[in-house]
Structure 1
């Protein structure tokens, strides 16, 4: 596997506070059996998963206040290079209630601190100075107030200009902004867009009820943007299309403890494998195993030994003819 740095941009990180109850009863007193506090937000889950695989990882975003300091210490503990921009507001705290009996989670997402144009310019400047040709950049998660819906697109263009491979996982207006940017200036070969099926349906404004409909949508988007599309389908697996091959991966069966963050762990596996020069089928296999392993963990994290076992049972198949 080639040497590269994985740059993970999480513009709106959070301090996750995970609270486990046997059964969750809304509007009643619930007795918590286990509490864990750890760096959170989609990008931090990606960064943690990549470190579990031994990747060299740098983390970027906006941090402020006491919560931000806890996340900085968490980066140090994981061996992640802390390249966050300091802001005046307080980094958000995300309470997550996990119902042990079902594996279901209830998440309360705060908006995050306000950022300024100067803050975003500082973030982009740091990226421009540190991303190198052959590196991989992941930009993922919600955007903090004040950052602008085009921030993921600006981050991606900064990394592309430096010769990196880019993966973006966004939703809503931010995902629409990335796709519009790509339609205006297609980026073939080094740009991966990874929404889930619900997020993709939302930005397209039409339902995607099955894999066939999803496949049609990603082929259309590839034609418009030049991007590789990887769409996760939950328990139904994931679809990959890069213009040359269309692949379908299944999801290994595990006992679900907490599925929160499984899409982010999937993204970590995909980024690490693609950065290492692995072919699409191998990258998709690792990604599927990472997503399933995350669901088997109480916290959004993976056990590398479980990932190794799950990789042996993931099935990746080429589906349908490539339409040109």
Structure 2
């Protein structure tokens, strides 16, 4: 089974306002409500690739009900722990300039976290994949991430991690199966320029030295690079297309990669599907549909360079 964890989901309220004037009354010309959160994005792509999965995390209030309904409508199995308070609502204001206001989210208590932890403790096996994606929630800290990682180690499940640089580096100690920094995040982690493929390989190896098994680095318009546990290096190009919204592209890449790797154990084909999935979402208004992923996959060229 594939599981995704989103500690701090959100409803993204996307508002269109022509010539927004701060301090005045503005009227929207349209709005859209999207179930947001990196783990939820992963669940949606997995489902569109035909992979059964369960989305977990913490939800509360009317906005939590909205996300639960969207997850069910997508065809994903939900198992969210209910918390006091209201799941955050993020405002994405589209006007002459784009403005974002992200909510903080409700408090997750120790009891809430233990409820989720016990759920996994009772179910995880060495055939499972656990995606922990996104940042923490109020009430949680790095220990929550480490606890999930250690449990995956104990049960033999594959732990896939995508979070901010501080949590990412902290969790290397639990030997995540796959991490996905982008090249900018690599530069931030090591406080060094990361401009070339050689630079990426150098610093990805340093992450492996700290515990990561496989490192997938997204490079925007320059494609992606994968450094495997055995030192193999694969690169991919990106297909042609117009970037509409890059939000969710990295999550889609992770989902596409693991959906293929669990079945084939083929790194090149997994990178190809991951790149196609990430690009398809970048070229879409929301999370990509399967038809576009399959179309773009034909344009992806993967090379083993080492």
The reply to whether residue 263 of structure 1 matches residue 250 of structure 2 is yes
What's the CA shift for 1:151?
Answer: 2.2
Which of 71, 78, 89 is residue 75 of structure 1 equivalent to?
A: 71
Partner of 1:247: 234
Which of 253, 267, 289 is residue 303 of structure 1 equivalent to?
A: 289
Unaligned runs of 5+ in 1: none
Partner of 2:82: 86
Partner of 2:207: 221
Partner of 1:39: 35
Task: Give me the TM-score of the superposition, normalised by structure 1.
Answer: 0.87
Partner of 1:110: 103
Write the deviation string for residues 203-247 of structure 1: whole angstroms up to 9, x where unpaired.
333332333212110012213315111111111111111132111
What's the CA shift for 1:105?
Answer: 5.6
If asked which structure has higher relative contact order (CA below 8 Å, sep 6+), I would say 1
Q: Contact between 1:228 and 1:240, CA under 8 Å: does it hold in 2? A: yes
Q: Contact between 1:138 and 1:271, CA under 8 Å: does it hold in 2? A: no
What's the CA shift for 1:252?
Answer: 1.3
The 3 A distance-change label for structure 1 pair 284 and 177 is: same
Partner of 1:198: 184
Write the deviation string for residues 78-115 of structure 1: whole angstroms up to 9, x where unpaired.
1211111111121101122346x9xx964322221111
The reply to whether residue 121 of structure 1 matches residue 114 of structure 2 is yes
What's the CA shift for 1:305?
Answer: 1.1
User: Secondary structure, in 3 states, of the residue corresponding to 1:139?
Assistant: strand
**What is the alpha-carbon distance in structure 2 between the residues aligned to residue 93 and residue 210 of structure 1?**
38
What's the CA shift for 1:59?
Answer: 0.8
Partner of 1:66: 62
Range with bigger deviation, 225-234 or 285-294: 225-234
Which of 138, 150, 159 is residue 157 of structure 1 equivalent to?
A: 150
The 3 A distance-change label for structure 1 pair 29 and 165 is: same
The 3 A distance-change label for structure 1 pair 108 and 210 is: farther
User: Secondary structure, in 3 states, of the residue corresponding to 2:238?
Assistant: coil
Q: Contact between 2:179 and 2:212, CA under 8 Å: does it hold in 1? A: no
Write the deviation string for residues 146-191 of structure 1: whole angstroms up to 9, x where unpaired.
1112322321221232222121001132112112x24xxxx3xx71
Range with bigger deviation, 158-167 or 264-273: 158-167
The 3 A distance-change label for structure 1 pair 246 and 172 is: same
Unaligned runs of 5+ in 2: none
What's the CA shift for 1:251?
Answer: 1.5
Task: Give me the TM-score of the superposition, normalised by structure 2.
Answer: 0.91
